[in-house]
Amino acid sequence: MKDYSEWEAIPDYENESPYIENPNRPWLKLKPDYIPKTVKFEPIPVHEYIKKVASEYPNNVCVYYKPADKKYTYREMNYISDKIANALYEDGIKKGDAVGIMTANCPEFLFCCVGIMETGATVVPINSLLKETDVAHIIRDAGNINTVFVHKSNFRTMKKVRDEIAIKNVILLQAEAAKPDTIALEDFINGIAPKQPDIEIDPMNDIAALLYTGGTTGLPKGVMLTHHNLVSDAVCTLQNMRESREDDPSIYGTGVSLTVLPICHSFGFQILIISSVLASMLVIFQSFNASEVLEAIEYYKCTTFTGVPVMFQMLVNSPDFSERDLSSLETVTSGSAALAPELNRKWEEVVGMKVGQGFGLTETSPVTHHQPKWLPEVIPESIGVPIIDTDAKIVNPDTLEELPPGEVGELFIKGPQVMKGYWKNPKATAATFAGDWLKTGDLARIDERGYFYIEGRTKDIIKYKGYKVMPKEIEEKLHEHPAILEVGVVSAPDPNIGETIKAYVALKPEYQGKVTERDIIEWSKEKMAAYKYPRLVEFVTVLPRTTVGKIFRRKLRERAEKES
């Protein structure tokens, strides 16, 4: 087993990144001289990357689990992870195998991830909100899972899955006693030495995690992320946040990060890694409650909070929002979908800082863009600029010709964090790449300075009387209406012109029954171009969302088709 105790990431300020196709990219001119052009490091497994820092800060709190009011130090994280790894190894888990984890946010998720990776096996997170059909698809599709860690609250779902698929071991998390044909985690590791198995990992090629996409356009696809993919993404994101050429030791062991994002998803998964390699305390919640999150930020003096737009919407509209002291926050980021400028404005009024939007995909480990402090300004509508060692360009999706600043096209990404491919799906992999470039499927533009802006998904474009209309633009304008809590815009069938524009609107409680659909349409006509305002408005109690908080546009389109 290789010794990584002397491993380090070395910033290179002289040589251009090998991933940058054009050294005249406009955002590169914005970088101060203390931001490296590229970062060099020996490939390292994810678990070694995490444990190296953990061994340097053993007594720091690694994770605070709010629902149970329980803290674990980095020493305890190493100890429990090693026991899990050794128990799996003794049970026959080896390189080439995969091990599933189905649980909501909890400390055991981190311990199991590290332990599984130590055996050379692949981590397969399974969202705890999924029904047995999707869970069965993931386990069947992976094809090499015979052991699954399952939270006790998900036991019934997994029991139904086992009626269809043979699973050798189901190990229950946070269970005082085992259920029939299962074993509790405490019993599984009881008497096992906390010893990391002697396994050689090839970080460049071995798959650390198989993350399944949300399946918004069909069955979920397994995204193969190598150890190098995930480490590169974390290293380049952190190096892109430097404040000087000198290493600042004060960033280690001092931060407090709060997340309610599902850590089984790529966004939350990377937050888990980055928080660990900074030796921060990660405060995790199982479910989102605006008042509790605001209270926790104040009480634990959280320095970092990352959420999705629906969370910021609920935080801003919470009666506690203006009552809590949020001054400890240093970095606040929104991802997964566009954050309405109106919400960002309200946040800044109270907190005194803008929410910086970022961008990423499961296929990119996930971070590709963010808004570090060294940018001239934080632009709420922008996703910022690419991180170190990441190139991005806007192309005509039909010709693949690169487009000039200001024009909307498809966003292409290249970098060391880009996935190895889709699991057992070479056809989908080939369709997603153009040479070394990942085709994101997102429509975007870049301005003259190098800031990127997401305009929507290619499949979300509404074609109204020859005009191409982006739902995001309409939604952002509708958010300015004082009565609207949330809104989703999609195309709806029209027998005369093919497609029209429909808005599904959830009203704030105090406006329900006082505002009509016609009121919204008339307001929109005054605020938007004649070809952009919604022709149809339907009030809903709540919008359908994916498991990571995005508006589930496919379900809205299907509903619009049925109602036409």
Between CA 395 and CA 408 the distance in angstroms is: 8
Taking 50 as the threshold, does the pLDDT of residue 216 lie above it? no
**Torsion-angle region of residue 26: left (phi > 0), alpha (psi -120 to 50) or beta?**
alpha
User: pTM of this prediction?
Assistant: 0.85
394 & 520 share domain: no
119 & 204 share domain: yes
Q: Tell me, what DSSP letter sits at residue 375?
A: S
**Domain termination residue (choose one: 388, 417, 446):** 446
165 & 227 share domain: yes
**Domain termination residue (choose one: 422, 446, 470):** 446
Report yes or no on 272 lying in a domain: yes
**Domain termination residue (choose one: 446, 475, 498):** 446
Report yes or no on 389 lying in a domain: yes
Report yes or no on 345 lying in a domain: no
398 & 476 share domain: no
Report yes or no on 484 lying in a domain: yes
392 & 504 share domain: no
The CATH code of the domain that includes 103 is 3.40.50.12780
437 & 501 share domain: no
Task: Give the CA-trace dihedral at 84, 86, 92, 95, to 10 degrees.
Answer: 90
- Which residues, other chains included, contact 233 with Cβ-Cβ below 8 Å and sequence gap of 6+? 270, 364, 365, 366, 367, 387, 416, 417
281 & 233 share domain: yes
28 & 73 share domain: yes
Report yes or no on 347 lying in a domain: no
For residues 308 and 104, the model is more confident at 104
- In total, how many domains does the chain have? 2
480 & 441 share domain: no
pLDDT digits 0-9 by tens, 270-291: 999 999 999 999 999 988 999 9
528 & 380 share domain: no
pLDDT of residue 218: 56
Report yes or no on 335 lying in a domain: no
Domain that holds residue 383: 10-287+358-446
pLDDT digits 0-9 by tens, 150-187: 999 999 999 999 999 999 999 999 999 999 999 999 99
236 & 268 share domain: yes
Chain centroid offset of residue 82 CA: 27
Lowest mean pLDDT among 50-54, 73-77, 219-223, 403-407: 219-223
The CATH code of the domain that includes 510 is 3.30.300.30
pLDDT band at 82 (very low <50, low <70, confident <90, very high): very high
For residues 458 and 455, the model is more confident at 455
pLDDT band at 214 (very low <50, low <70, confident <90, very high): low
Give the length of the chain. Answer: 564
172 & 272 share domain: yes
